[in-house]
Structure 1
Amino acid sequence: MSEPVHAIRNIGPKSVEGFARAGLHNAEDVREIGADAAYARLIASGTRPHFIGYYALVLGLQGRHWNDIDPEEKAALRLRFDAIVGGSKPDHPSALEAELDRLGVVDRPGR
């Protein structure tokens, strides 16, 4: 029997909906792909990025409490979080971005 996502330390029952929206329906799914890929999927599926939520997931997968983090580790995780958030732009522009692009307001590199 598989464990629910909130069986992972630091992941509360309220987060289950976001994980499900990201296609992560149990703790094994999250453990299999790891914290970075799981968090990228959460963001891509509409979860707002939040650094504490990210490092709580990382530490939870290690079996650690969310505030069991030293400054050096936190700084390293911040770099990983920023890379994930920076690389998680949706494939399709929002309605506002599409309209701005249509009007020629958005400058897109490579166009």
Structure 2
Amino acid sequence: MSTPVSSIRNLGPAYETACAEAGINSAEELRALGADEAYARLLRAGSKPHFIGYYVLVMALQNRPWNDCQGEEKKALRKRFDAIKAKSFDKELSAFEQMMDRIGVRAAP
């Protein structure tokens, strides 16, 4: 029997719906994928990238409060988030569009 994604601390019905749209249908499956692969799947399924959503997932899979992420750990997670986001989106953009996104000139899709 599978356990709902929303049974994981910090993850509610909206996160469960987003996971289902990404083909992640249980807490067990989410844990097996890990935060980075699961978040990449969420992005590929159409979820908008948001750093807080990513680190909430990381904290949830560690059974920690969502706001427990601070200092150097948060900085390291930001780098991981940026890498996941880049892999999910930048390959579809030209080098010029990527540069415009990085400096905030072009509105993100």
TM > 0.5 between the two?
yes
Structure 1 stretches of 5 or more lacking a match?
A: 98-105
Question: Highest Rg: 1 or 2?
Answer: 1
How many equivalent residue pairs? 96
What is the distance in 1 between the residues matched to 2:25 and 2:32? Answer: 12
Note the C-alpha offset of 1:89. Answer: 2.2
Q: Deviations over 1:32-80 (max 9, x none)?
A: 0100000000000000011001000001000001001221100000000
Q: Which residue does the alignment assign to 2:22?
A: 22
SS of the counterpart of 1:11? coil
What is the distance in 2 between the residues matched to 1:80 and 1:63? Answer: 19
The TM-score with structure 1 as length reference comes to 0.79
Asked if 2 retains the 8 angstrom alpha-carbon contact of 1:4 and 1:27, the reply is yes
RMSD (Å), alpha carbons: 1.9
**Where in structure 1 do 4 or more consecutive aligned residues deviate above 6 Å?**
none
Q: Normalized per residue, which structure has more helix?
A: 2
Judged with a 3 Å threshold, the aligned counterparts in structure 2 of structure 1 residues 17 and 78 are, in CA distance, closer, same or farther, namely: same
